[in-house]
């Protein structure tokens, strides 16, 4: 008798546990999506504000991600880097990166100047890069870091004009001897350099969490349906 009761109760307990886990994790992912929506709203608000004019170089360190800023300085022309695997409109290409010395200071910021199409025949052949010689004023959006892509093989050692898949800012500071901020600037102001500045729109990732939530809720629902269907079949078999 006891054994038969356990046989009937165990599937119910297992179903209840699976449903509880699925609903709990689904709710957690839903809350994460709501948090990411709030972040996305904040990002859009910052992008709509007028750019902050940088008065002192040290102020750059206080800027938040996705804040717009305008600053003066000079590009370090002999230290271009080409960030690989950055397609645009379905065309293979690079992000052109270059240190930028802020006017009146010894501080530098790594600027993502724009997108450059890759040579379809000879991958490592880079066309001449046009760069202003003297002081320039640029405008851009602060990023905590550049978006990462899947790294294929071992990344090349950082050196001038190298094609790389990742740029650790601390390593770049050591190699160049420059005091580089741990933030990156995506240039948005126009320049006569033939680079494309159509940067990917920032995403907080809320859709990903909603998809995960849907999967967890689906798991709970499937467990409940499975329990009901198998229960009905067992009842019919007894009859």
- Answer yes or no: are the C-beta atoms of 74 and 100 closer than 8 Å: yes
The whole-number pLDDT of residue 13 equals 81
Percentage of the chain lying above the pLDDT 90 cut = 35
- Answer yes or no: are the C-beta atoms of 219 and 18 closer than 8 Å: yes
Question: Which whole number is the average pLDDT over 214-226?
Answer: 85
pTM value is: 0.73
The whole-number pLDDT of residue 113 equals 96
- Answer yes or no: are the C-beta atoms of 130 and 107 closer than 8 Å: no
Question: Which whole number is the average pLDDT over 97-119?
Answer: 95
Whole-angstrom distance, CA of residue 172 vs CA of residue 164? 12
Q: What pLDDT, in 10s, does the model give residues 35-94?
A: 777 766 776 776 777 888 888 888 998 888 889 999 999 999 999 999 998 999 989 999
Confidence of residue 2 (pLDDT cuts 50, 70, 90): very low
The whole-number pLDDT of residue 34 equals 75
Domain coordinates in residue numbering, the chain: 18-48+204-230, 67-187
The whole-number pLDDT of residue 30 equals 85
Q: Does pLDDT of 98 surpass 90?
A: yes
Q: Does pLDDT of 232 surpass 70?
A: no
Q: What pLDDT, in 10s, does the model give residues 111-160?
A: 999 999 998 888 888 888 888 888 999 999 999 877 655 445 555 678 99
């Amino acid at each position: 008798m006891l054994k038969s009761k356990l046989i009937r109760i165990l599937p119910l307990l297992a179903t209840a546990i699976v449903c509880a886990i699925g609903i709990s994790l689904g709710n957690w992912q839903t809350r994460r999506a709501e948090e990411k929506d709030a972040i996305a709203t904040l990002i859009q608000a910052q992008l709509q504000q007028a750019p902050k004019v940088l008065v002192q170089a040290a102020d750059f360190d206080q800027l938040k991600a996705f804040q717009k800023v305008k600053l003066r300085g000079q590009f370090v022309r002999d230290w271009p880097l080409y960030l690989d695997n950055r397609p645009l409109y379905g065309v293979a290409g690079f992000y052109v990166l270059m240190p930028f010395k802020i006017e009146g200071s010894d501080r530098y910021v790594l600027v993502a100047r724009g997108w450059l199409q890759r040579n379809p025949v000879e991958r490592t052949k880079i066309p001449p890069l046009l760069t202003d010689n003297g002081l320039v004023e640029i405008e851009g959006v602060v990023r905590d870091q550049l978006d990462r892509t899947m790294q294929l093989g071992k990344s090349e050692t950082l050196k001038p004009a190298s094609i790389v898949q990742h740029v650790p800012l601390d390593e770049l500071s050591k190699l160049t001897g420059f005091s580089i901020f741990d933030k990156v600037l995506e240039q948005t102001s126009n320049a006569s350099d033939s680079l494309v500045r159509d940067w990917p729109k920032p995403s907080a990732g809320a859709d990903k969490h909603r998809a995960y939530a849907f999967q967890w809720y689906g798991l709970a629902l499937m467990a409940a349906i499975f329990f009901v269907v198998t229960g009905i079949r067992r009842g019919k078999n007894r009859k």
